[in-house]
Amino acid sequence: MKVGLVYDLRKDYLAEGCSPEEAAEFDSEETIDALDRTVRALGHETERVGHGRALCKRLAAGDRWDMVFNIAEGMHGRSREAQVPCILEMYGIPCTFSDALVCAATLDKSIAKRLVHDAGLPTPRFAVVRDEAGIRSVSLRYPLFAKPLAEGTGKGIDSRSRIDTPERLADACRTLLRQFGQPVLVEEFLPGREFTVGVTGTGSAACVLGGMEILFAPNTVGNIYSFETKENWESYVRYEPLPDGPFEQQVKDLALDCHRALECRDASRVDIRCDGDGRPCFMEVNPLPGLHPTHSDLPIIASLHGVTYMELIGSIIKSATCRLVGT
CATH tag, 2-104: 3.40.50.20
Please state, as a whole number, how many other Cβ atoms lie within 10 Å of the Cβ of residue 210: 20
Mean pLDDT in the chain?
Answer: 93
The span from the CA of 19 to the CA of 87, in Å, is 27
Question: Could you report the per-residue pLDDT of 63-87, keeping only the tens digit for each?
Answer: 999 999 999 999 888 899 999 999 9
**Positive or negative, the Cα torsion across 79, 280, 186, 117?**
positive
The span from the CA of 247 to the CA of 243, in Å, is 10
| CATH architecture designation of domain 191-321 | 2-Layer Sandwich (3.30)
Q: Is the distance from CB of 107 to CB of 81 less than 8 angstroms?
A: yes
Provide the pLDDT for residue 79: 93
Strand partners, 284: 271
- Judge whether residue 243 has pLDDT over 80: yes
Q: Is the distance from CB of 298 to CB of 289 less than 8 angstroms?
A: yes
Q: Is the distance from CB of 237 to CB of 68 less than 8 angstroms?
A: no
What mean pLDDT comes out for the span 152-159? 83
Residue with more model confidence, 295 or 228: 295
**In a 3-state reduction of DSSP, which class is residue 142?**
coil
The span from the CA of 132 to the CA of 143, in Å, is 20
Provide the pLDDT for residue 327: 44
The span from the CA of 303 to the CA of 210, in Å, is 9
> Sheet containing 184-188: which strands, arranged edge to edge?
126-129, 184-188, 144-148, 162-163
> Sheet containing 45-50: which strands, arranged edge to edge?
45-50, 2-6, 67-70
Residue with more model confidence, 59 or 216: 59
Provide the pLDDT for residue 85: 98
Greatest Cα-to-Cα distance within the chain, rounded to the nearest angstrom: 59
* 153: CB partners within 8 A, 6+ apart: 24, 25, 227, 230, 231
Q: Is the distance from CB of 65 to CB of 46 less than 8 angstroms?
A: no
In percent, how much of the chain has pLDDT > 70? 94
**In a 3-state reduction of DSSP, which class is residue 144?**
strand
Fold of 126-188: Dna Ligase; domain 1 (3.30.1490)
- Judge whether residue 175 has pLDDT over 70: yes
- Judge whether residue 326 has pLDDT over 60: no
- Judge whether residue 216 has pLDDT over 70: yes
Per-domain residue ranges of the chain: 2-104, 126-188, 191-321
Q: How far is CA 265 from CA 73, 199, 222, 229, 235, in A?
A: 16, 9, 34, 28, 32
Question: Could you report the per-residue pLDDT of 280-306, keeping only the tens digit for each?
Answer: 999 999 999 999 999 999 999 999 999
DSSP string for 36-74: HHHHHHTT-EEEEEESHHHHHHHHHTT---SEEEE----
**Beta strand 237-241 pairing with 267-274:** unpaired
DSSP code at position 82: G
Name the pTM for this structure.
Answer: 0.92
Distance between alpha carbon 286 and the CA centroid of its chain, in Å? 2
